[in-house]
């Protein structure tokens, strides 16, 4: 009897102890919703502000990355800073990588609007509309230290964590509580059509929202908390509301249709349900981050303080870096490197990567510098993937950096073109092979067909061998232009064949200074000229589209000596020695051309730019008679856009100068009104018989950016003392091009 009484009393006191002293376990569930998921940050701010305890975190898609960051020890304010930065806008495009693209990749290349790939003899269909290189690297910088500390067990994080993805083969959600954290989160946000799926053990995983957009069941089955707070940021729209939706808008709308949400009644029954007023926002609207975050904050502040009485305890959230509360956490930033390991099948990759990242034993590691190096490597269009992994040497506490590298092994075909009321319809295609013979060299072959231009271009260049500053390449162009007279309605054909060898220095990713050797044959009507030239070439360009409201610059400069053969026909010489006869040497001349553009963004709506161009040709032996054929090589003045496809020998003089000013007013990002004002002067002699010809005028245009280039309609008036004044009207669609070859005006 006494024994039984003791047992009853023991159970009674155990019950009282549990009731009084045991804390309720609270789970936080963050649903998917792309940009709408930024509302989760506002909810987290309220949780920290009111000291509401959270024991477990579950997330899907955008909820997985925000939940993963918070569960890793990032504060709500730190997460907010990440998503309000400019970098977040680059996650859905390749602009960051393109900004690191070396300028030598643009030499003798032309804009295209369609790209296809051929791999193993088969057409490669793109798996996604967004390249995931940038987001993969960002996730690595967020979670690599946590990954190392927790040893693949998400329960060891600052807050035990899970995320979900979708296995479309088995039609079941996949719950990740172990494995590589950054890869698991990447799988959870692998939105179909937007991002490529993530492969684990030969299984492809997509966005978790396809089977469980709010991982309430996963939270209950895995952690079984006493109370759950669920945040729903799904879309209210289930169709295509816009009249002209973009590809991204269509994709996100399709994803919204595929997303599986719990009924509101179910969520309210099993959890404290928070529904921020963000359903009207599109999944790609990261430009509205601040107002979306505020929507989450406002709704959470309305609901969460009311439940504080239901929770018997509270949690004081440290303001300092909470990641150090994780057992075994070590910061990699600023840590000394022990070893750098490159895993690649290509010996060139090892040397090139080491030359770019500039990290070796004894150096300090910094994430920002490392990311810039990886962006530079990706910009070369040589690497398909670069997967970094960091561990710590237990003996000396230094870090071991390992890079798993996979090179691109495919052939690329690109297509471009333009239509113009003066130049007609013109199409071109390019065969592109990168990393030919595994030597990091490039081969481009262009073919042109159209009213204005016919011919082909071959580029073979090796600017990235071992990623040194030395660049070299051979560029060959065989073009025939059909050009209309500027003042009269008739046309002629201009033949332009050239081969150029460059050898110089890649000063930085935006500048090249090079020695060049060029041979060129020109023919216009019945006049022809063959020459050999050599000199120096400087080129500087930022990889920024000139039609956008941004600040950018472009500069080019050539100076060289030319040895013409104006007397022999091209069929009369058998070797280059035949060029160096006495008459040819007497015709030697120097030539220089320059182009300078400075474009500035004044405000959100206004942009202006200044341009200056010049050209001059001087004979070395000025007292000797000159061949009239050399006039074919005189600098050519072509003021303003729509005169590019028109030609008149009156515009060719030994000395030319042009300057202009353009102002644009942007109605939106893709539509602007533009006014160009430009003037050119031309003359043959400076001292005796000095006479200037001029042409100047103003042009107004409406321009709209399309997937196929710009659509522009314009009219202008140009006054001159050459012939009659010009009143022009023009319609253009596509990427504008003029003389396409390298050193085109040389």
- Other beta carbons within 10 angstroms of residue 11's beta carbon come to 10
pLDDT value of position 586: 75
Q: What is the pLDDT of residues 242-295, one digit of tens each?
A: 555 555 566 666 666 555 566 666 666 777 899 999 988 888 788 899 999 999
Cα dihedral 273, 279, 285, 289 sign = negative
| Residues near 65 by beta carbon (within 8 Å), at least 6 away in sequence | 59, 139, 185, 188, 189
pLDDT value of position 399: 94
pLDDT value of position 364: 96
| CA-wise closest residue to 93 among 287, 341, 230, 319 | 287
Query: Which residue's structure tokens are 């232009």?
Result: 481
pTM reported for the whole predicted model: 0.80
Q: Which is catalytic among the residues 132, 147, 207, 420?
A: 207
pLDDT value of position 11: 40
| Domains in the chain: boundaries | 22-92+131-324, 331-407, 418-569+580-623, 630-745
132 is catalytic: no
Measure the CA–CA gap between 504 and 463, rounded to whole angstroms: 9
| Residues near 176 by beta carbon (within 8 Å), at least 6 away in sequence | 154, 162, 163, 164, 165, 184, 187, 188
Which H or E run contains 60? strand 56-60
DSSP 605: S
Length of the chain: 746
pLDDT value of position 543: 62
Which H or E run contains 308? none
207 is catalytic: yes
Q: Return the exposure string of 483-498: e unless at least 16 CB atoms fall within 10 Å of the residue's CB, then b.
A: bbebeeeeeeebebbb
Which CATH class name applies to 331-407?
Answer: alpha beta
pLDDT value of position 737: 64
The CA-based angle 203-207-209, given to 5 degrees, is: 130
Which CATH class name applies to 22-92+131-324?
Answer: alpha beta
- Whether 198 and 155 have beta carbons less than 8 Å apart is answered as no
The ranges of the chain with pLDDT < 70 are 1-22, 125-128, 237-268, 463-468, 543-547, 566-584, 622-627, 639-642, 687-689, 736-744
Q: Tokens in use for 434? A: 């990168």
pLDDT value of position 264: 67
3-class state of residue 639 by DSSP:
coil
pLDDT value of position 554: 87
CATH architecture under which domain 418-569+580-623 falls: Beta Barrel (2.40)
Measure the CA–CA gap between 633 and 564, rounded to whole angstroms: 10
């Amino acid at each position: 009897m006494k024994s039984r009484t003791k047992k009853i009393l023991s159970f009674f006191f155990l019950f009282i102890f549990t009731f009084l002293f045991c804390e309720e376990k609270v789970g936080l569930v963050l649903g998917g919703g792309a940009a709408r998921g930024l509302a989760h940050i506002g909810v987290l701010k309220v949780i920290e502000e009111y000291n509401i305890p959270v024991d477990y975190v579950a997330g899907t898609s955008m909820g997985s990355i925000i939940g993963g960051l918070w569960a890793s020890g990032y504060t709500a304010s730190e997460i907010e800073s990440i998503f309000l930065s400019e970098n977040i806008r680059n996650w859905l495009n390749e602009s960051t990588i393109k900004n690191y693209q070396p300028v030598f990749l643009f030499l003798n290349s032309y804009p295209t609007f369609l790209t296809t790939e051929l791999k193993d003899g088969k057409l490669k269909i793109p798996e996604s509309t967004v390249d995931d290189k940038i987001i993969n690297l960002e996730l690595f910088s967020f979670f690599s230290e946590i990954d190392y500390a927790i040893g693949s067990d998400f329960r060891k994080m600052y807050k035990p964590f899970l995320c979900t993805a979708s296995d479309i083969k088995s039609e079941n959600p996949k719950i990740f509580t172990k494995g590589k954290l950054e890869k698991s989160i990447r799988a959870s946000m692998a939105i179909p059509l937007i991002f490529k799926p993530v492969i684990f053990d030969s299984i492809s995983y997509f966005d978790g929202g396809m089977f469980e957009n709010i991982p309430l069941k996963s939270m209950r089955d895995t952690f079984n908390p006493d109370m759950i707070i669920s945040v729903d940021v799904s879309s209210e729209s289930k169709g295509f509301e816009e009249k002209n939706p973009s590809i991204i808008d269509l994709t996100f709308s399709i994803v919204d249709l595929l997303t599986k949400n719990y009924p509101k009644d179910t969520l309210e029954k099993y959890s404290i349900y928070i529904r921020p007023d963000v359903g009207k926002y599109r999944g790609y609207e990261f430009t509205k981050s601040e107002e979306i975050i505020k929507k989450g904050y406002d709704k959470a502040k309305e609901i969460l303080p009311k439940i504080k009485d239901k929770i018997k305890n509270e949690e004081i959230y440290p303001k300092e870096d909470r990641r150090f509360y994780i057992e075994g956490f070590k910061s990699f930033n600023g840590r000394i490197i022990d070893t750098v390991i490159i895993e690649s099948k290509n010996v060139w990759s090892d040397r090139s990567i080491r030359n770019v990242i500039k990290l070796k034993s004894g150096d300090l590691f910094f994430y920002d510098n490392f990311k810039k190096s990886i962006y530079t490597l990706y910009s070369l269009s040589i690497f398909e993937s670069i997967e970094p992994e960091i561990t710590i040497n237990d003996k000396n506490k230094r870090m071991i950096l390992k890079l798993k590298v996979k090179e691109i092994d495919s052939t690329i075909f690109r297509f471009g073109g333009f239509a113009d009321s003066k130049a007609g319809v013109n199409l071109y295609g390019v065969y592109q092979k990168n990393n030919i013979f595994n030597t990091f060299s490039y081969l481009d072959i262009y073919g042109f067909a159209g009213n204005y231009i016919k011919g082909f271009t071959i580029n073979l260049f090796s600017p990235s061998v071992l990623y040194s500053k030395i660049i070299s390449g051979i560029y060959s162009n065989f073009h025939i232009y059909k050009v209309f007279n500027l003042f009269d309605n008739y046309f002629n054909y201009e033949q332009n064949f050239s081969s150029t060898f460059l050898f110089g220095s890649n000063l930085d990713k935006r500048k090249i200074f090079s020695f060049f050797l060029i041979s060129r044959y020109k023919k216009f009507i019945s006049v022809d000229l063959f020459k050999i030239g050599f000199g120096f070439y400087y080129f500087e360009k930022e990889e920024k589209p000139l039609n956008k409201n941004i600040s950018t610059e472009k500069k080019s400069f050539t100076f060289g000596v030319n040895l013409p053969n104006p007397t022999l026909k091209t069929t009369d010489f058998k070797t280059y020695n035949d060029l160096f006869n006495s008459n040819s040497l007497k015709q030697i001349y120097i030539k220089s051309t320059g182009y300078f553009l400075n474009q500035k963004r004044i405000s959100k709506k206004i942009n202006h730019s200044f341009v200056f161009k010049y050209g001059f040709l001087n004979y070395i032996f000025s007292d000797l008679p000159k061949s009239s054929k050399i006039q074919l090589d005189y600098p050519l003045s072509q003021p303003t856009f729509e005169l590019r496809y028109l030609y008149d020998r009156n515009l060719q003089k030994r000395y030319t100068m042009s300057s202009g000013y353009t102002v644009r007013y942007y109605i939106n990002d893709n539509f602007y009104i533009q006014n160009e004002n430009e003037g050119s002067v031309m003359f043959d002699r400076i001292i005796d018989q000095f006479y200037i010809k001029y042409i100047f005028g103003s042009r107004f245009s409406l321009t709209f950016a399309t997937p196929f280039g710009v659509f522009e309609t314009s009219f202008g008036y140009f006054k001159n003392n050459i012939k009659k004044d010009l009143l022009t009207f023009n319609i253009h669609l596509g990427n504008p091009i003029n003389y396409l070859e390298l050193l085109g005006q040389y």
